[in-house]
Structure formats: C-alpha cells, structure tokens
Amino acid sequence: MSKNIIFITGGSRGIGAAMARAWSGEQTELHLFSRSTNQKLEDELTSKGAEVHWHSMDLSQTEKSTDFFTQLLEKIDWENYSSVWLFNNAGMLEPIGKVGKKDVTTLTKHIALNVSTPLAWSHEFANILQEKKIEKWIINIGSGAANKPYFGWAPYGAGKAALHHFASTMGVEQEKEDHPIHVITFNPGRTDTDMQGLIRETDEEDFLHVKSFVEAYEQGQLNNPDDLAKGLYDFCQKGNFEQGQIVSHRDI
C-alpha cells in the first residue's frame, strides 16, 4: 500500500506539532525538522500508526539544512508513496523593535529562517519532484502581518510578505505544469503558541500593539492550533482552492 510522506519544519511544537498530529495515521511517514525533539509528541504520533523521523538541525543555516533536505528527497523511492507534503512552518519573531534599534545578527538569522530556508526548500522540492506523478503539496505558514505594518515587526512582516508573494507566484507557475504541485499559504491568525507568549512579554516601547495581544489572550480569543490543523486538513482534502491561494483561518 502506498504511503503519505510529510515534511514539517519546526515540527516539535506549536502549529508544526499540530500539523503533525492532524496528518498522522496509518501509512504515514513523518519527517520533523527542529532544533529539539519532543518525545511526548512522538509517542502520540506513533500511537496513531505513523512512522516518525526526527531531524535535529538549525534551520537558519539555510545552505546546510537545504543540502540535507535535498539529499533526503533524492534517496527516497517515490514509487512507494501516493502523496508528499512540505510544511514550511519554522519561524521566529525576533528582533522585535523599530528598525535601527536591534542587533543586525538576529535580523540576518531571522531572514534566513523565515525566508531563505522555506524558499530554498520549495525550490529543491520542485526541482526533484515536479515530474513525479503523485499528489504534491507545499503549505507555507504565513501571517496577517504580511499585509499590515505593525510597529516593531518590520522584519517579521517583510519576511511573511516575501513568503506570501513567493507562494503566489509559484502557484501561477504550477498552473502550467502537467503534474502540478499544490501551493498554498495558510494564515493561522492569533494562535495559542509559544510565540504568542513572547509577544505578550514584549515591552510596549518595542511593540506598540502588545496590549491588544494580551487582551486577546485574557479573553480566550486565541485560535487553538489543533483545531486549525484539523480544519486545514479538511480544507486540503476538499481540493477547493486556487493555486498560490492565501488561505485564512476564517476560510476553514
């Protein structure tokens, strides 16, 4: 029986872990990429019948991590699989603060992790798998910050905007292919993850909108990552989407 193979960056916690749970099951092979592993999550996934592989790495090292991903794709016998999914989920929020104030080293790491690595992995995914006659997906985790400027989030908003545009353009290209890759970007909205905790701890001097995020948390308005993942899974199974579409949490 053919298997489904899923690659998730930042798969040890938050939205990445939720996607792993939603996509796990019998005949599922999960490859999770993160700096650390999560034994509790692995036990949960394997209990559902999934085959789990952890790959510990720093995804902000774009060239090194992309070489590893490329070699992994090249050695797989694709005749044994019916579908392949790449979730470009890993990301960071720092540096938070107005332009010119924070450490440029953190800025360059941010761009590598949030932009360079997902673009490079998408490139290699298409390069190796374009002509494979199996179901192929690239799902990027985006943000509403791509469309609205937030004081203190210039790198984050710019990075997500780049990811949105890249996916939209790739979607246009895939419309011309005989064996297209399905490409979408998912905007999860304000979701209850560790990143939200970091936001709430930020000084208002660096992030003017921090109070609204604190209020959203206190009022129970944050999205549940597992609910989002299940909704996105159902959305993808229906197949009612446009290539390169930016899918909002409100759409699923």
**Each residue's pLDDT tens digit, 218-235:** 999 999 999 999 999 999
**What angle in degrees, to the nearest 10, is found between the helix axes of 14-23 and 39-47?**
20
Chain-wide mean pLDDT for the chain? 96
Overall pTM > 0.75: yes
Percentage, residues of the chain above pLDDT 70: 100
**What are the structural domains of the chain?**
3-190+224-251 (3.40.50.720)
Set 81, 150, 156, 217: catalytic member = 156
Find residue 85's DSSP bridge partners: 6, 137
pLDDT for 243 = 96
**Residue 38, C-beta contacts closer than 8 angstroms, at least 6 positions apart:** 12, 13, 17
Contact by Cβ (8 Å): 136, 207: no
Give the pLDDT band of residue 236 (cuts 50, 70, 90): very high
For residues 198 and 211, give the distance between their C-alpha atoms in angstroms, rounded to a whole number.
13
Please indicate whether residue 233 is annotated as part of the active site. no
Percentage, residues of the chain above pLDDT 90: 95
Give the pLDDT band of residue 102 (cuts 50, 70, 90): confident
Among candidate residues 27, 16, 78, the one with its CA nearest the CA of residue 51 = 27
For residues 40 and 11, give the distance between their C-alpha atoms in angstroms, rounded to a whole number.
13
